[in-house]
Amino acid sequence: MLSALLVMAALAIVLGAVLGFAAIKFHVEGNPLVDKIDAILPQTQCGQCSFPGCKPYATAIAAGEADINRCPPGGVEGIQKLADLLGVDFKPFGGDTAAPKPKSVAIIDESTCIGCTLCIQACPVDAIVGAAKQMHTIIAAECTGCELCVAPCPVDCISMQVIEEKISNWKWKYPVYSLVTAQ
């Protein structure tokens, strides 16, 4: 009886030490839930969710302060993924969020650009290059299509262009064919 107690006590001490050590050794910086949510968000950084970027929205979701259906670029699939992660029910887009749009990139009309640098300051991912009084241009591969640079331009030379289907981004379609159901 006593030996059993001793064994159990020793075991508890050893395991406790292991757990304590693991907690220190494998300590994760930051809030893992926020990071998990942030990993699902599309990182467009557009602010359409009414938060100043994806991370703040992720933080708000994790804190239970925001709904999961506020990110238009993430689409319905994004909501589904958030619902799966958080173990909550799927929710369609709310009335106050914009409808998802096809993915686009911004294009600067280089002949109109006056080099005011306002768009550079607006771009959340530094996808615009240019210097004061010089023509500006957008690195299409890095543009997330957030549209934040469109409004600040004083000469309206930035427009959004939908990314068109090319051989390089073409996808096989979902099969369509006639089906007979078994009698």
Partner 1 sequence: MRTLYHFHGGVHPPSNKTQSTRLAIAPAPLPSRLIVPLHQHAGETAKPVVQAGDHVLKGQLIGMPDGFVSSAVHAPTSGTIAAIDMQLIAHPSGLPNLCATLIPDGKDEWIELEPVKNYRDHSTTELQHLLRMAGVVGLGGAAFPSDIKLRLGKQKIKTLILNGAECEPYITCDDMLMRERAAEIVQGAEILRFMLDADEVLYGVEDNKPEAIAALQQAITASGSALQQSKRHEVVAIPTIYPGGSAKQLIRVLTGLEVPSGKLPTDIGVQCFNVATAYTVHRALAHGEPLLSRIVTVAGNVREARNYEALIGTPIDELVALSEALPDTNGYIMGGPMMGFALPGMSGPGPAVHVPMVKATNCIIVSSEKLFPPPPPAMPCIRCTRCVEVCPADLQPQDLFWFAQSKEFGRAQTFSLFDCIECGACSYVCPSHIPLVQYYRFAKSEIRAREHDKQLADQARDRHEFHEQRIEREKREKAEKLAAKEKAAQAAKLAAQPLTAEQQAELANLATSREHIRELAQSAVEHTTENTGAN
Shortest Cβ distance from residue 156 to ligand SF4 (Å)?
14
Pair 136, 115: CB distance under 8 Å: yes
In this structure, are residues 136 and 129 in contact, taking their beta carbons and an 8 Å threshold?
yes
Within 96-135, which residues bind ligand SF4 (CB under 6 A)? 106, 122-123, 125, 127-128
Using CB under 6 A as the binding rule, whether residue 145 contacts ligand SF4 is answered as yes
Q: How would you class 71 by CB atoms within 10 Å of its CB: exposed for 0-12, middle for 13-18, buried for 19 or more?
A: buried
For residue 170, state whether it binds partner 1 (rule: CB under 8 A): yes
Judged by CB under 8 A, the stretch of 19-27, 86-94, 129-137, 170-178 that binds partner 1 is 170-178
8 vs 98 by CB, closer to ligand SF4:
98
Residue 86 CB contacts under 8 Å (≥ 6 apart), including other chains:
37, 61, 68
Length of the chain: 183
Report, in angstroms and rounded to the nearest whole number, the Rg of the chain calculated over CA atoms: 25
Q: Binder to partner 1 among 34, 37, 54, 128 (CB under 8 A)?
A: 54
Q: How far apart are CA 69 and CA 63, in angstroms?
A: 15
Among 34, 37, 40, 45, binds ligand SF4 (CB under 6 A): 45
Among 47, 100, 124, 152, binds partner 1 (CB under 8 A): 124
Query: How far, rounded to the nearest angstrom, does the alpha carbon of residue 174 sit from its chain's CA centroid?
Result: 26
42 counts as binding partner 1 under rule CB under 8 A? yes
End-to-end CA distance of the chain: 70
Site for ligand SF4, rule CB under 6 A: 41-42, 44-49, 51, 53-54, 57, 71-74, 106, 122-123, 125, 127-128, 138, 143-149
Site for partner 1, rule CB under 8 A: 38, 41-45, 53-54, 123-127, 142, 144, 165-167, 169-175, 177-182
